[in-house]
Amino acid sequence: MRNVAISLVVAAATAASLSLNAQVPADGAQLLTQSGCAVCHGADGQGTAAGPSLDASALSLDEFVASVRQATRTMPAYAAEILPDEDLSRMFAFLEAQTTEPASAGRVDVGAELYSAYGCYSCHADEAQGGQHGPRLGPDPITYARFEWYTRHPTRTMPPYSTVVLTDQEMADIYAFVEAQPQPPPLESIPLLAP
């Protein structure tokens, strides 16, 4: 099934390449659709169950182009003949404009209470360091845009936290708590783990 989906995306991208040469798209959203990227990443690059959010704030333009040219996992690589650098630059500019920032500043103390109240600790551990049932969230968390998108549209066993369950302010608060987590001490500073 996955191979069929990849083949469809490659076929859509090849057909889109021909139409891009004939007609310049009016905006980034149209380019995402014509290139086939919206199939997995959504019409505005917000991500879907088939592909992650395209958060341009996490990458430079060169890194973005490289991630398209030398794709990993199930995403096919797009050569310059299929998606020219100029189109990728325009797509990147569009995605940068879509970057989601917290609606308001998060409050670490409130975020700590919400993290506990919503049961985040049961999978991600008390300090968001990760546990048996959930990955590490902090310190150095993923960007806010990716954090928010995944919390609203999770995969696997994590329940979705829609705005009905978790408001945008509460999301920003939990992210502030995760972001505030201190770095762990160096291993050599822990006597039992010292070499």
Q: Which amino acid is at 102?
A: P
Given the candidates 1.10.1040.10, 3.30.70.890, 3.30.230.10, 1.10.760.10, the CATH classification of the domain at 108-179 is 1.10.760.10
pLDDT value, residue 11 = 45
Architecture of domain 2-98: Orthogonal Bundle (1.10)
143-178 pLDDT per residue, tens: 887 788 889 888 888 999 999 999 999 999 999 999
Contact assessment for residue 129 and residue 140, using Cβ atoms and an 8 Å cutoff = no
pTM of the complete model? 0.56
State which H helix or E strand residue 110 sits in: helix 108-117
Alpha helices in 2-107 (DSSP H): 2-22, 28-35, 38-41, 61-69, 85-98
What are the two backbone dihedrals, phi and then psi, of residue 156, each rounded to the nearest 5 degrees?
60, -135
How is residue 71 annotated by DSSP?
Answer: -
Query: Around Cβ 109, how many Cβ atoms within 10 Å?
Result: 11
Q: Where are the domains of the chain?
A: 2-98, 108-179
User: Do the domains at 2-98 and 108-179 have one common CATH topology?
Assistant: yes
Q: In this predicted structure, what is the pLDDT of residue 74? A: 81
pLDDT, tens only, 74-126:
888 899 998 899 888 888 888 877 766 555 688 999 999 999 999 999 999 99
